[in-house]
Amino acid sequence: MTREAGKLTQAGRLFVIFMGPSLGGLAPLGLAVDQPALAAHFGGGVEGTLQAGTVFSAPSLAIIVGAPLGGYLAERVGYRLTLLIALLVYSIAGPAGLLVDGYVPLFASRLVLGLAAGAVMAVYLALAAAYFDGAARSKVIGFAVATSTVVGMLALALGGELVELGGWRAPFAMYLIGAVTLVAAWATIHGPFQAQVRAVKAPGAAGSLNLIARLWPIYLALILISIGTFMPSAGGPFLLKANGIERPGAQGLLLSVGSASAFFTAAGYGFLRKWFSDWALFILIAGAMGVGLAAAAPQHAWAALFAAFMVVGIGTGFKAPVAASILMAQAPPQVRAAAAGLNFSCIFLGQFLGPFVMRLLSPFGIQGTFLITGGTLIVTAGAIAVAGIGKEKASIGITIGSEAL
């Protein structure tokens, strides 16, 4: 971290960085428990349920666009300005449901919220790379992801209480945390940040798009892993029911173990980097998730299912910090924000594709779906190992000049 910064400034910067993935996750998750109340507000029935579901999921779709757009703007107009604008929009669009009414206004505000959330997530990762190096960066990214896990659990718990207290509008108040983050960012986030090209490029040197395109194997692996992340939450209840565990409370308890192990692996990521490279952990992510999903498919015993979903959670917890660290290490400084934006696009694209993958594999049954998905991730782990996807590459030959605000 910048040595000149005082302790209060350092704390503020850490708060902003830690809130980056939390605000992104909260964008869709804040209304998870609010869906039945929203459906009733929209008239109930199939139509009301559909409208509530699309209002809930709209930010996830918008983040796919907002993250790379935010990264692009950050490289053009600066990290600070992009972050402040994104947080301002988040602070307006997020709590909009406290005032606006009707399906179209709510849906539109949720799309805008997703765009802003994607931009915040892209810039937070670039800020982590700008303010921290090496092991310190790994720890900060790991703690940021762990914080988002805690915020997600709190949002689910608080959301239900708010619905009971104030009806369908009340959960929108949770998005006011964006305004708190905006104040902290305005006070503590200052340049200089990224190094930019000042001298003439070396003959044959690649442009920005080409530099990012060279990272495509990492992005492809991340999409496949994100599809695997989707399986326990979306397909887990159906698998458990098919395997003889029908009580919803029991299903929730078994599936929650993955979130618990994900929290600890994300929080411990920065410390494990002393002994394992990001490349080795990238292999572990795909392998652990693949083994866990495949192992869960035929199991009927509680202990076996508990262990399988815990193994999946190990991979889930490492996914975001490991992929982020790999991209921040391999992307040249002048395209880091754009690379970070595409990182989150791939994560949310994988979640978006998850239902379609389940539909495609439905002829094989839910057990077959878990087996095929798990097997695909095991093959992905092998491909990462053999092809060296995520290994540190030699730096790309571009002359870097002075620091830019």
- The helix-helix angle for 103-131 and 45-77 (nearest 10°) equals 40
Distance CA 65, CA 80 (A): 20
∠ Cα 395 399 402 (to 5°): 115
What is residue 200's predicted lDDT score, i.e. its pLDDT? 40
DSSP assignment of 177-233? HHHHHHHHHHHH--S---EEE-SPPPTT---HHHHHHTTHHHHHHHHHHHHHHHHHH
The number of beta carbons lying within 10 Å of the beta carbon of residue 58 is: 22
pLDDT computed for residue 10 by the predictor: 87
Distance CA(21)–CA(339), nearest Å, equals 16
Q: Which residues pair with 10 in a beta bridge?
A: none
For the chain, percent of residues with pLDDT exceeding 70: 89
> What is the set of domains in the chain, with CATH numbers?
7-193 (1.20.1250.20), 208-387 (1.20.1250.20)
Residue type, 106: L
List, for residues 2-54, the tens digit of each pLDDT value.
445 678 888 999 999 999 989 998 998 888 778 788 888 998 887 888 888 88
Tell me: pLDDT of 251 over 80. Answer: no
Percent of the chain with pLDDT over 90: 28
Task: Give the model confidence (pLDDT) of 380-397 as tens digits.
Answer: 999 999 988 777 653 333
Specify the 3-state DSSP secondary structure of 48. Answer: helix
